[in-house]
Structure 1
Amino acid sequence: MEKTCIIYGSSTGTCQAIAENIAGKLGVGAADVLDVSSIDASTPDAYTNLILGTSTWGAGELQDDWYDGLETLKQANLAGKTIALFGCGDSESYGDTFCSAIGEIYNALKDSGAKFVGAVSTDGYTYDDSAAVVDGCFVGLALDDVNEPDKTDCRIDAWLESIKNSL
């Protein structure tokens, strides 16, 4: 696996815990698991792969720190990088915007020259709508650790299996 970092934004700790779980499963060291509020435009220079994670808030919005983080990543040179996305959402209370924030990250960076990997089938998910669904698949790993914590590890494992050869 090429040099990989995991960049997350977390308000309640859930997305951070998932970022750390993914890092542990991939063998990514703690120094390469970064809070999005701590990055600058040169951060991606040290990595081939970026795994980006956010929770979804309100009516499908990014986690607060991601607004500045996304602007920072737009200024970075992402050409030739591989990007995988993961997101946390609540499919019961916010089923009409489930994990939509990863769709916002995808849309902001899709023309950056980076290669996106890790789309996930919507099969097995219960939700009404999501801005993270493109061509019938989530643009990354969608997790509902609030209502379906029993599915989180299996979903992470299946997703990592699907992307590991691209990293």
Structure 2
Amino acid sequence: MNVTVIYGSDSGTTKAVAKKIAAGLQARLLDITAAKTADFEGCDLLVLGSPTYGIGDLQIDWEDKLGLLREATLTGKPVALFGTGDQATYADSFVDAIGILHDIAVERGAVIVGHTATDGYSYTASLAERDGRFVGLALDEDGQSSKTEARIAAWIAQLTQTPALSQAAVSA
């Protein structure tokens, strides 16, 4: 299975998470600043990651390169999302960035995989929550860093068990 992880990161926290995810999925790792539209399209699974800044904003490099995602043809492509945020300080916009990426990917025809439970988090609102679940992997490195390794491992296991991805691995 051909997997690409594209992330944005200022402080290095999301980059560190992206590296762990890429290692676990044996994926190509790419900073959004170096990405091209073809990078979004040329894989069996696309994984997108961003921290949430301020009151629910995407990371600045994602803001600058969002047109690439908006131009990509993702019809039927499995896309997984992960994000970092601070649920205590920004309880009303926790991991909003992955909700923003979710909506654009869905508009481009993507099939979102890797939803996760909201159990174990304490926040008041999130654009990343849909139907009582997060649209991807939500991580709080400020308040719950001790849970990150287990959450990443469980998410990777979930992704590799997704029927669309299992089928892609068989045909690869």
**Partner in structure 1 of residue 117 of structure 2:** 121
Structure 2 partner of 1:25: 24
Identical aligned residues as a percent: 42
Task: Give the whole-Å Cα distance in 1 for the aligned partners of 2:50 and 2:39.
Answer: 18
Q: 1:119-158 counterparts in 2 under 5 A?
A: 119-158=115-154
Indicate the residue corresponding to 2:47 in structure 1: 51
| Structure 2 letter corresponding to 1:61 | D
Partner of 2:58: 62
Q: Is the 8 A contact 1:70 1:108 kept in 2?
A: no
Task: Confirm or deny: 8 A CA contact 2:14 2:83 kept in the other structure.
Answer: yes
Q: Deviations over 1:56-97 (max 9, x none)?
A: 000010000111332111111111311000000001111111
Bigger helix share:
2
In 2, Cα distance between equivalents of 1:48 and 1:158: 20
SS in 2 for 1:110: helix
Match of 1:80 in 2: 76
Tell me how many residue pairs correspond in the alignment.
Answer: 163
User: Tell me, which stretches of 5 or more residues in structure 2 are unaligned?
Assistant: 166-172
Cα displacement (A) at 1:17: 0.3
Report how far residue 44 of structure 1 moved.
2.4
Q: 1:115 Cα deviation (Å)?
A: 0.9
TM-score (structure 2 length as normaliser): 0.91
